Amino acid sequence: MSLNLDQHGHLANRAAWTTDWAEATAQADEIKLTKDHWQVIKAVQQLFDETEDTPPMRLLIKVLKQRLDADIDSRFLYRLFPDNPVRQASKYAGLPKPKHCM
């Protein structure tokens, strides 16, 4: 399996995704993935599997509130993924760059 990246640094082939790749990619972005990061990453992967698209921020927060913790909000996500929560979580999840992200 190839680890080719698209022009945005996301995996071109999701089947090539591994947790080791996610860890190394996050480390290159100076982020150490914690339990909270992994919960969000897995939720983004599940949403993508269900909808065949990456979720916009509002939908991601709504789903995280339902599935993980009612207190999750955008501040929580920005603490985990400071550059852009949906885009970074999607990147580490091995998913394409979200269509709604610049």
In whole angstroms, how far apart are CA 23 and each of 7, 57, 87, 99?
A: 20, 23, 16, 24
In whole angstroms, how far apart are CA 47 and each of 4, 32, 36, 53, 94?
A: 23, 23, 17, 7, 13
Task: Categorize the per-residue pLDDT at 6 as very low, low, confident or very high, splitting at 50, 70 and 90.
Answer: confident
Task: Categorize the per-residue pLDDT at 101 as very low, low, confident or very high, splitting at 50, 70 and 90.
Answer: low
Active site members: 101
Whether domain 14-92 has CATH 3.80.30.20: the reply is no
Sketch the domain layout of the chain as residue ranges. Answer: 14-92
Query: Average pLDDT, whole number, for the chain?
Result: 89
pTM: 0.89
Residue found by looking up tokens 């939720």 in the block: 43
